[in-house]
């Protein structure tokens, strides 16, 4: 799971716009000149296709967050909502928001397809033997990891 997030970070750092939060932080830490030199060296050495650059990171994030969400639920009165569906709803919702121009980015059916594929693999491709628990009561290290996985999405946010 960590390797998936690191690969997504690699793509964001070296192939996506400099206006993302993670790239702005990197520029502040390294300097614009060092960052630009590293970026140029990496992209020259390892050219990647557009689907890998623009769709794969979201798919990998959906994969990771599905794995961290699948053992949790949210209790609403007498009903338990399984958290395993939230990554899929979140990723498709972001695409719809882009389509409606409520958020930055470009709507892409490929992003939805990749997200559904990676969600399906994480949901059904790995053994699910842990017992379900409420994500907030009690708050545990695993539930904090789940919340943190959602927060990572902010690093990919494009600043103005």
pLDDT tens profile 101-141 = 888 778 899 999 999 999 999 999 987 777 889 988 888 88
Parse the chain into domains and list their residue ranges: 2-156
The string over 77-99, giving b where at least 16 C-beta atoms fall within 10 Å of a residue's C-beta and e elsewhere, is: eeeeeebbebbbebbbebbeebe
* Rounded (10°) CA dihedral 59, 72, 86, 123: 40
Q: What is the pLDDT of residue 93?
A: 92
Please tell me the distance from the alpha carbon of residue 85 to that of residue 88, in angstroms, as a whole number: 6
* pLDDT at residue 159 is higher than 70: no
Predicted TM-score of the model (pTM): 0.86
Mean pLDDT value of segment 146-155:
80
Q: What is the pLDDT of residue 160?
A: 60
């Amino acid at each position: 799971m960590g390797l998936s997030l690191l690969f997504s970070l690699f793509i964001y750092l070296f192939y996506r716009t400099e206006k993302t939060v993670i790239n702005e932080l990197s520029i502040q830490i390294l300097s614009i000149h060092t960052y630009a030199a590293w970026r140029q060296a990496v992209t020259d050495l390892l050219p990647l296709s557009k689907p890998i650059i623009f769709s794969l990171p979201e798919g990998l994030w959906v994969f990771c967050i599905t794995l961290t969400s699948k053992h949790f639920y949210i209790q609403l009165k007498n009903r338990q909502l399984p958290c395993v569906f939230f990554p899929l709803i979140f990723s498709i919702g972001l695409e719809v928001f882009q389509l409606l121009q409520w958020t930055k980015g470009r709507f892409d059916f490929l992003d939805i397809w990749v997200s559904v594929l990676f969600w399906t693999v994480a949901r059904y491709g790995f053994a699910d033997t842990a017992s379900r628990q409420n994500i907030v009561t009690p708050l545990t290290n695993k539930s904090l990891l789940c919340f943190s996985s959602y927060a990572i999405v902010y690093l990919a946010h494009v600043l103005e």
